[in-house]
Chains A and B, each alone.
Chain A
Amino acid sequence: LKKIFAAIFVLVSGIFFASAYSDEELLKLAQENTAFYGKDFKGFYSLVHEKPGEGKSVTDAIMYRRDSESKWTILITGPAKDKGKGYLQFDGNIWFYDPADHRFTFTSARDKFQNTNANNSDFAPQFYHRDYSIFSAEDAMLGKLDCRKFVLKAKVENVTYPEVHIWVTKDDGLVRKKEDYSLSGQKLRTSAVPSYQVVQDGSAKHFIPVKMLITDNLRGKKIDGKVQYEKTQVTISNITFSVLENSVYTKPYLEMMSEK
């Protein structure tokens, strides 16, 4: 009798969760979970870049985001040789500042962040629902996580990847894994988000990855006859949500901070 009840419970809860969000709703939720509107986000990022055969390098940075205005600033705090460098996005452009020559150079959302496997676009909201349409969706287990796997194809031009596969947990709409593909269908990058940290901002709850592991599927090195790919682990900590000065998202701010 217990088994029958258990089976009925699983079935009912399955139906409940399955019907909790439609695919479109779940995708929209996944998109919304990557954006923080209304307040400014500040967090410390640590990126450990592992190049096969060459060891690891660590880049530390402070990130400021104001998603409501599509602005962000990244100030690199380490290693010492890169300290003071920074990135700034405003008016749809991304600028890179190098204090060595006191110059801002134009960069792109697709460009690699400090030559790691993270793209500059990874630090901004991910528009899965706005820029992509669902090509297919299916249930998939990711370890113990009950997910919906979406195959998304770009519906607008100028997105970095024309096809992405994302695994979204059904109950909270959090992206747990992402694969980026080229137009010809070649896998270029795999990102995994094993866990999220919940940050309470007043009545709102924000989900921010604790760690992200990005594996490049193109860049690497052949060692002992086998190609080993580059990896980057991104750790996010000390997150706060508060209103920041407008000047944070300006070129003079980067110049000023780089001199400190």
Chain B
Amino acid sequence: MRWRQYISLLFVCALGSGVSLFALFLINGMLRSLSTKAKIYYGGDYQFVGGLNDLSFGDYRNFVTKIESVFGGKAVVSPRFDFDAASSAIYFEGVGVRQRIIKGVDFDREKKLFEKFNYVDGSAEKMAGTNGVLLSDKIAQMLECSVGDQVTLMLRTAQGYTNTVQLVVKGIFLDSSVFGFYTSYMDLNFLQKAYCIPEFYANRIGIFFDGDSPSSADDAKFQKLLEAKFDMFRMVKDKYIFYDQLHSGRLGEKYALIPLYANMKELQVVIDAIKVIALFVIVTLIAIIVIGISSTYRVIVMKRINEIGIFKAIGMERRSVLLLLLSEASALLVAGCIFGLLLSFGFCRVIEKFNFLSIPAFNIFLTDGILLPAPTIFHVALIFCVVTVTTIFAVLFSVQTAIKITPVQALAVTE
């Protein structure tokens, strides 16, 4: 009947590690989705901003060349013009929808970034140099327009005049309320002309790494390199620290490198909350595994006390007996973790079947409307190590008393 206890231990280990891994994969996927959305919105992993008392580059070309020399060929350096579109609206067949922000983008440079967008229809492929516009799914629904339709953008120019331009809808994207609903994307040059500003004017320069995101060590390295070329403000965790000082006029001409997290200060509370919940779930599950296995193992060992007595009677040392028991526990844990990994993949496949778009404000964590878990070897190794090491120590503690018993005492015990 002992095998049943081993099966139940295997089950506990598999379920605990499986759910823990699934939680980690899920959180990782959610944060990756959020990060991708943020990168598209902010123009990459970093934003280079600044100017004389305001965010503006009268002629961005010189800045782009210098920044490219700092980041090398690994990064895409692209100028952007974020147009405050609070008094602008897009009209289609009489229906008008107000805009929050319109982003002028160099689609040739940012091609790879915009490939990551979740398009409901169309794409950003033929946006460069045209009067195309990318609208959010929500705006397209409100306007009742689709890809290929011509819409009218009414905006106020830099001189304060009302202007209208005709735009062709080239892509409709699925995006979140935080970044996307009332944000549209246009060709940089076309937006500059519509807004009546000089050709090479920009107010942001995005820096995007098509691969691994830069680490905090990279942040410091790039900051230092940029300091050699520009009068830089210190690296901040919240971009508004720099904005407030720049706009106050106290800084004069100053520039700053804003990492992605410094752009998402408002979301950091949500991100931290998710991480805390995930950590709580994982710690609880691992505690269940550790306590469950170690206490069950104590019972198993007690039941096997005669067996231990025989091992000792035939000359096995205490250490060898311990090693034997720990090897069994290790085999059980490894098997449990492997089953747990398979189980977590199963959970991932299941969660991908559900559409979560109906949950308000949750869409910032979704990819194409679904939760897309992102498994990583690091997370698998982490859970395996934590589960194995902590459980082995717990088992070690549990069986200490049992292995100290003499062969005579052990053989005297009736099961």
Contact = CB atoms under 8 A, between A and B. Distances in A.
A218 B91 contact: yes
A221 interface: yes
B385 interface: no
A184 B162 CA distance: 9
B154 A110 contact: no
Interface string A167-199: 000000000000010111010100000000000
A168 to B, nearest CB: 22
A170 B94 CA distance: 35
Q: Which of B87, B94, B160, B163 has the most CB of A within 10 A?
A: B94
A228 B162 contact: no
Interface string A215-246: 00011111000011110000000000000000
Interface stretch (A17-25, A30-38, A80-88, A157-165): A157-165
B91 A157 contact: no
A227 B94 contact: yes
A160 B160 CA distance: 7
Contacts of B160: 157-159
A154 B94 contact: no
Interface string A126-159: 0000000000000000000000000000100111
Contact of B163 (A158, A184, A218, A221): A184
A219 B91 contact: yes
Given A110-B87, A154-B161, A157-B161, A182 B154 contact: yes
A52 interface: yes
Contacts of A220: 93-95
B53 interface: no
Contact of A110 (B95, B157, B162): B162
B94 A183 contact: no
A37 B270 CA distance: 58
B162 A221 contact: no
A161 B94 contact: no
A70 interface: no
B163 A183 contact: yes
A114 interface: no
B159 interface: yes
A162 B159 CA distance: 10
Q: Do most interface residues of chain B lie in helix, strand or loop, or is the interface mixed?
A: strand
B196 interface: yes
B152 interface: yes
A162 B161 contact: yes
Nearest to B92: A222
Contact of B164 (A108, A110, A186, A229): A186
Contacts of A186: 152, 164
B2 to A, nearest CB: 73
B143 to A, nearest CB: 11
Contacts of A228: 94
B165 interface: yes
A95 B154 CA distance: 24
A221 B95 CA distance: 6
Contacts of A110: 87, 156, 162
A160 B156 CA distance: 9
A221 B94 contact: yes
Interface in A45-89: 52
Interface string B132-170: 000000000000000000001010110111111100000
B122 interface: no
B252 interface: no
A161 B162 CA distance: 6
B95 A159 contact: no
B96 interface: yes
Given A158-B159, A218-B152, A182 B164 contact: yes
B234 to A, nearest CB: 35
Contacts of B91: 218-219
A188 B94 contact: no
A159 B156 CA distance: 10
A222 B94 contact: yes
Contacts of A188: 154, 162, 164
A140 B12 CA distance: 91
A160 B96 contact: no
Contacts of B163: 162, 182-184
A157 B159 contact: yes
Nearest to A220: B94
A188 B89 CA distance: 13
Interface in B148-194: 152, 154, 156-157, 159-165
A218 B156 CA distance: 15
A222 B157 CA distance: 28
A184 to B, nearest CB: 5
A219 B87 contact: no
Contacts of B154: 182, 188, 218
B193 to A, nearest CB: 10
Nearest to B163: A183
B186 to A, nearest CB: 15
A259 to B, nearest CB: 32
A130 to B, nearest CB: 15
15 contacts: A110-B162, A157-B159, A157-B161, A158-B159, A158-B161, A159-B161, A161-B162, A162-B161, A162-B163, A182-B162, A184-B164, A218-B91, A218-B96, A220-B93, A221-B95
Given A218-B91, A219-B96, A228-B94, 20 more contacts: A110-B87, A157-B159, A158-B159, A160-B162, A161-B161, A162-B163, A182-B154, A182-B161, A182-B162, A182-B164, A183-B164, A184-B164, A186-B152, A186-B164, A188-B162, A218-B164, A221-B94, A222-B94, A227-B93, A229-B94
Interface of B: 87, 91, 93-96, 152, 154, 156-157, 159-165, 196
Nearest 3 interchain pairs by C-beta:
A220-B94, A158-B160, A183-B163
